[in-house]
Chains A and B, each alone.
Chain A
């Protein structure tokens, strides 16, 4: 299953090659062209069969949050820093994969901690990764200072839900792959971007100069529909349909583009919801400012426990997101107004 392969691949920001290789393999026979730029963004083009078609840019990021080795102790443990937004409270006792070697994030045993210590969240600097090395030299046979590593978490389905790491944003990558496998009456440009989690860096380069009529960023987004959380802080609801953004910390969605998404959903009876929060941000923040401004909107699959090894999404939300993007592309298929 492609989503399983995509989410289990390693792709911490700046090291997206495994993910890019899977995507490249999937799209190489789609009938379009693609190239990889100097940062590692994968850019795919598929021309419309008819003349004067609109150009639509779809964008999803390949990278995920993770870690970088900052030091190796004399007794073979790895010290690390996080890459992208990771809550230190979720790190203890998690499995990680360090250059194909299993590792665990450790902390001293509960027996030896004081009451006060147990009340506090350990700081990143107090944590370490145990890769089973005997000493520094032994560890250096596996990993070197400056190497990246990521969560080790398998793809699992339970009920109507999927648990995996990096659903943000391998779901977006998967939807774009599926769009590239179809024929559209628009010129389709898909940017699979790098380094979104560390400052929207890849998109600033990948989408420059394309000048599309509209851009859609396809994402995994925050879902806080947990028991005891007040309704006004839930952001999205798992199973409530794809989430269409209004405003976040990186961008204000273009009204025309987001209106077209809503219209595509409404007229096809596809469930959707607003992303009801202005927290967070995505590549739309970079893309919307390029080339004098691009009409950009974001549509996302709600993901519980995002930026953790156990992101959870509802299968129906993925279907909703995919169908709305399809509807959007169909609706854009008319002849463009531009000369």
Chain B
């Protein structure tokens, strides 16, 4: 299942395959699993659901804008930069996979519009979406691959909520990488007293473990909820560190939802390796999963 979660095609606005995977595997474990108009998956346990756990289920990607003369040209979204793409393999929804090319001399000077993929128009059409090929390798300590960052939060939440008891809801949000569209639409109709968002944390922490977010790029976390996570980690002897993050956990959207909510985040540490790959340390990941599981047990009842 880890492989499925990490590698299934899911790009912002086209999350169908991951959505089906989640619905199928969670429907017998939750009291209710449903989707909404934006494509979010919402899973609920219990009756009142004062706690919401959120993670994104989409990856940033590329959109084909021209496919003439045997070459595919594209725009990128969700924060992908030329250096993230040059020489990397892109996989499309139809399974076609090919490498991103750049004919310039200095890759630092490259713009997205300079990059292309060799493919004829019978394989790829204008409007098709692609993502970095999420195939990964692993050793006893870590997973290595491209695009792990966008799936680390999803994987942690998926693992944590499997058998945990409590009265809570999980939002697997769609279109998170293009401005948190799924979150914003969902919060127009729903409100919760407490929210924990789970996403990758790419900043270097002082040591490993799970990250407890004191501040993200949009907001300061609720002190009480953050302290509750810190206390939980301490009580359960979970390796965790409090972090001030420049990443967007959409804290502001949650804090100002309904008549106001307590919010904090759990960051799953993903490091960049020297060859540009992403590294997800299994121990850090396990700590994040344990922290989330313990937090749900403590805060949702």
Contacts and interface: CB of A to CB of B under 8 A. Distances in A.
Interface of A: 230-235, 246-247, 251-255, 274, 276-279, 288-295
Interface string B3-22: 00000000011100000000
Contacts of A234: 66
B127 interface: yes
A288 B185 contact: yes
Contacts of B65: 232, 235, 276-277
Interface residues of B, number: 28
Interface of B: 12-14, 36-38, 63-66, 68, 73-77, 113, 126-127, 175, 178, 181, 184-186, 188-190
Report the 4 A-B pairs with minimum CB-CB distance, sorted nearest first: A252-B13, A293-B37, A232-B73, A292-B189
Contacts of A254: 37
Contact of A277 (B37, B75, B178, B190): B75
A293 B36 contact: yes
20 contacts: A231-B73, A232-B65, A234-B66, A235-B65, A252-B178, A253-B13, A255-B14, A276-B66, A276-B127, A277-B75, A278-B76, A278-B77, A290-B188, A291-B188, A291-B189, A292-B37, A292-B190, A293-B36, A293-B38, A294-B37
B75 A279 contact: yes
Contact of A232 (B13, B113, B181, B185): B113
Nearest to B77: A278
Contact of A231 (B68, B175, B185): B68
A222 B127 CA distance: 17
Most chain-B Cβ atoms within 10 A of its Cβ — which of A278, A279, A288, A289? A289
A294 B75 CA distance: 25
Contacts of B75: 277-279
Contacts of B184: 289
Nearest to B76: A278
Contact of A247 (B68, B77, B190): B77
Nearest to B14: A255
Tell me whether chain B's interface is mostly helix, strand or loop, or mixed. mixed
A276 B37 contact: no
Given A246-B127, A289-B188, A233 B13 contact: no
B38 A288 contact: yes
Nearest to A291: B188
Nearest to A295: B37
Contacts of A246: 63, 127
A289 B77 contact: no
Contacts of B38: 288-289, 293
A292 B37 CA distance: 7
A289 B182 CA distance: 8
A233 to B, nearest CB: 6
A159 B241 CA distance: 68
Contacts of A251: 181
A124 to B, nearest CB: 26
B126 A274 contact: yes
Nearest to A278: B75
A289 B181 contact: yes
Most chain-A Cβ atoms within 10 A of its Cβ — which of B74, B127, B181, B186? B127
Contacts of B63: 246-247, 278
B181 A252 contact: yes
Most chain-B Cβ atoms within 10 A of its Cβ — which of A278, A279, A291, A293? A293
A293 B185 contact: yes
A288 B37 CA distance: 9
A278 B175 CA distance: 14
Contacts of A295: 37
Most chain-B Cβ atoms within 10 A of its Cβ — which of A247, A277, A291? A247
A289 B13 contact: no
Contacts of B113: 230, 232-233
Contacts of B73: 230-232
A276 B127 CA distance: 7
B172 to A, nearest CB: 15
Contact of B66 (A231, A252, A290, A294): A231
Contacts of B175: 252
Nearest to A252: B13
Nearest to B180: A289
A277 B76 CA distance: 9
A251 B63 CA distance: 14
A252 B60 CA distance: 13
A291 B38 CA distance: 11
A247 B37 contact: no
A252 B11 CA distance: 11
A212 B127 CA distance: 26
A253 B190 CA distance: 23
Contacts of B36: 292-293
A305 B76 CA distance: 24
B98 to A, nearest CB: 16
Given A231-B73, A252-B12, A276 B126 contact: yes
B13 A292 contact: no
Given A252-B181, A293-B188, 20 more contacts: A230-B113, A231-B68, A232-B74, A246-B127, A247-B13, A247-B77, A252-B12, A252-B13, A253-B13, A254-B37, A276-B64, A276-B126, A278-B76, A288-B38, A289-B38, A289-B184, A292-B185, A292-B186, A293-B38, A293-B185
A289 B257 CA distance: 14
Contacts of B77: 247, 278
B206 to A, nearest CB: 36
B67 to A, nearest CB: 9
A289 B74 CA distance: 26
